[in-house]
Copies of this chain bind each other. A is one copy, B any other.
């Protein structure tokens, strides 16, 4: 169970409206949940947390409403009361994930690329660590050709990437970053950081571990920052 975790990455303390599935739909102020009862907000949040895990493990088609219901501890008909269809539940998870990720990139043109990119890499790695299931659901959807999230991707993510790519291009124009395609740089950061959630099973086996620990993520951060900063960012000393 992941309830009550802190999803915020270390560098920033961004007050983001959309939190993870676990924190979805804050109950209104003054609202209390009786110990034995669930209530709308709590049931919905519990379903989302469990569904995230089940979708990640079995995929959209392999996941069943019965399995989700069983793990939540309710009859499967109840899920249909909160989410009209299986796909609606699935889509809700995808959109939540995306908002969380977008909030991880706080950098703008005033920042130095060195500090900004390292913070972004570490923030994304942090999400891979604390919310790996969400990342897997996303990956599964994209892998299959984004049949359900495509439209949202073309609107929300595309616009976001345009603004961030412009910032990166600004750094290049200022001579603080090697002339690389900004979008491909973003892709590389996503690919490497999300790899530590999406391919965690493979990594765990190849590192002969039971599960990935903080130290493994720190090693990942070392390699990734060394690659990105060492390979692309011009050191402050050489600036003139």
Contacts and interface: CB of A to CB of B under 8 A. Distances in A.
Nearest to A222: B180
A161 B150 CA distance: 36
12 contacts: A62-B144, A139-B143, A146-B201, A146-B202, A158-B208, A180-B226, A181-B219, A183-B206, A185-B223, A187-B220, A190-B199, A227-B227
A214 B194 CA distance: 25
A223 B181 contact: yes
> What is the oligomeric copy number?
2
A198 B142 contact: yes
Interface string A139-163: 1101111100010011001100100
Contacts of A219: 181, 184
A201 B205 CA distance: 28
A154 B109 CA distance: 46
B232 A145 contact: no
A191 interface: yes
Interface string A193-207: 011101101110111
A82 interface: no
A236 to B, nearest CB: 13
A153 B190 CA distance: 24
A230 interface: yes
A13 interface: no
Contact of A191 (B145, B178, B180, B195): B195
A119 interface: no
Contact of A205 (B62, B158, B196, B202): B158
